[in-house]
Structure 1
């Protein structure tokens, strides 16, 4: 088999591992290598599954065509993990308001004591917490 002759559109590329500080291909900046996490993905599935399922649409001329399908996903756990990696200190997670599981947690100790219960309830009212 001659790949150039037998496979249409084949391309050859020289591949290697890049190093920190090398110029980018456009020579406008330097390569910076950092850790990353995949939080979402997109896969073009093409027409394979549409054809198997008989999923079709009518084009402008009224001709049936298989639907081009895609798969899209966002990893909720990975999104939270990537946030935590970037927002923490020596005491643990530093929650930002946009992603925090709770705006405020109010814990009243010794609520059987009327004074503590009353102060806690008054403080809660003063916080003026509004539901979304």
Structure 2
């Protein structure tokens, strides 16, 4: 029986050693998993930090882009307005030139008409002056 009890004790010790070894292995595995978990937590935090920075940078770039697009739209609008004003100025200048030419032509026509009238009146005056001495001499 002593041999049986020694075998049982050896078996118990062997089982205990195996349980102890497995416990140590599992403890090491738990520590490894905890280390990996902590590493993953740090990686996640770094990724979240990077994400926050990228979101902030994206918002900044979007504001710049929106500002640039707004400025471009304003420039295009101003360019269009400027082109319209240039066309309007050309039209008004052309109209002014046309009116000025019409005015000059009208003035020249009036000068010509008045010169003709003056010449006609001068001719009438000369005729009357020539006829006047005749009329005066016939009355005497």
Q: TM-score range by the shorter chain?
A: under 0.3
The structure in which a higher percent of residues are strand is 1
Calculate the TM-score normalised by the size of structure 1. 0.18
| Higher normalized contact order (CA 8 Å, seq sep 6+, divided by chain length) | 1
Calculate the TM-score normalised by the size of structure 2. 0.17
Q: Which one has a bigger Cα radius of gyration?
A: 2
The structure in which a higher percent of residues are helix is 2
